[in-house]
Amino acid sequence: MNTNGQPWTDDVGDLIQAHGGMILHHGNTYYWYGENKGVDNYRNAEGVNMVPFIGISCYTSPDLLTWHHAGIVLSEATDPTNTLTKESICERPKVLYDAERGRFVMWCHYDTPDYKYAGNLVAIADNPTGLFQVQRVLRPNGKESRDMTVYQDGEHTYLIHSSDMNKTLYFSEMTPDLTDCTGFNAKAFVDQEREAPTVFHDGDWYYTITSGCTGWKPNPALFSRSHFLFSNQKLIDNPCVGSRARTTYDGQPTYVLPVNGQYYLMLDHWQRFDLKHSGYSILPIEIHGRDLEIPWTDTPFGGPIQ
Ligand code: GAL
């Protein structure tokens, strides 16, 4: 049984390597995509403490409790463009299903070892377990993109990305084939330095939950709400409670997962000098009127999933 805040293990007892990830529900299966950081840290030529790029892993589950490693679905070996190397930064993978074309599209934060390129990598697969083939590396609408997520709102899909030296979060509309951005975008939280974005919608409100920008070190999460995705985004409060609220329970948001009408916040608990042992937690989001509260629970999902 996995415990929130700790490293988690898969169905054969190996450490789950799916950091900065997300869970996609497709058919009867849940697919957990994330960064495979399953080797030792080192200091790269730029002096950045990191792990070499191994790939993006996918784990499958019928019930969100037991996870089976379906393998590395994006790696140097599966990249026909030779964009990915051991030194590449490829973080926070998010996968969308393109029903019209019957294919899966992965967006990641793609970067040079010094984190100065600040763009995205887009990869496509016919099956959810890959293998994903890199289509392109881009800066969305010519803008920087570091921490990012994706969000589907009816027929529209958006890339939400920290930009302008992480000072601003952009909501950028994607093209219908989900491999580029249209140029239609909006800024949120200008000069507020928010990253690790997550987005969901409940009732009349769009909510985002973000972290501050302190690298691997934890800081207070904040939620915002707005009637519109593209305007009036306003930071409201920290949804965490209790003595560990100021460090988001020593975690950082990576995705909001809806299951049967309940929303769950996925957190990474980074171990910055030993990234492969970084933990995970999945916490139920309580909605009280217009406000969010996310109490700590040791048990993933706060207990049995309803
Ligand atoms: C964090 C970010 C992580 C990773 C890290 C590198 O701010 O959320 O995804 O990029 O910085 O220091």
Output the pLDDT for position 1: 87
In tens, the pLDDT along 59-75 reads 999 999 999 999 999 99
| Cα atoms in the Cβ-side hemisphere of radius 13 Å centred on 1 | 8
Residue 109: its pLDDT value, please?
98
Taking the centre of ligand 1 as the mean of its atom positions, its distance from the CA of residue 62, in whole angstroms, is: 30
Report which protein residue has its CA nearest ligand 1's atom 8.
196
Residue 48 is predicted with a pLDDT of: 84
What pLDDT score was predicted for residue 231? 86
Among 94, 108, 147, the mutation site with the greatest number of ligand 1 atoms within 8 A of its Cβ is: 147
Alpha carbon of 216 to ligand 1 centroid (Å): 6
Amino acid of residue 184:
F
CB 173 within 8 A of CB 181: yes
User: How many A from CA of 130 to the centre of ligand 1?
Assistant: 25
List domains and CATH numbers for the chain. Answer: 19-300 (2.115.10.20)
- Give the span between the Cα atoms of 111 and 120, in whole angstroms: 8
CA distances from 257 to 23, 45, 182, 197 (A): 7, 37, 26, 13
Q: Could you say which DSSP state residue 66 is in?
A: S
How far is 279 from 267, CA to CA, in rounded Å? Answer: 8
Which candidate, 276, 279, 227, places its Cα nearest to that of 248? 279
Question: Which protein residue has the closest C-alpha to ligand 1 atom 6?
Answer: 215
- The Cα–Cα gap between 256 and 94 comes to 12
Q: CA torsion sign, 266 to 271 to 274 to 279?
A: negative
Q: Which of 90, 146, 267, 272 to mutate to test the pocket of ligand 1 (most atoms within 8 A of CB)?
A: 146
| CA of 204 relative to ligand 1 center, distance in Å | 31
In the chain, % helix, strand, coil (3-state, to 5) comes to 5, 50, 45
Below-50 pLDDT ranges, the chain: none
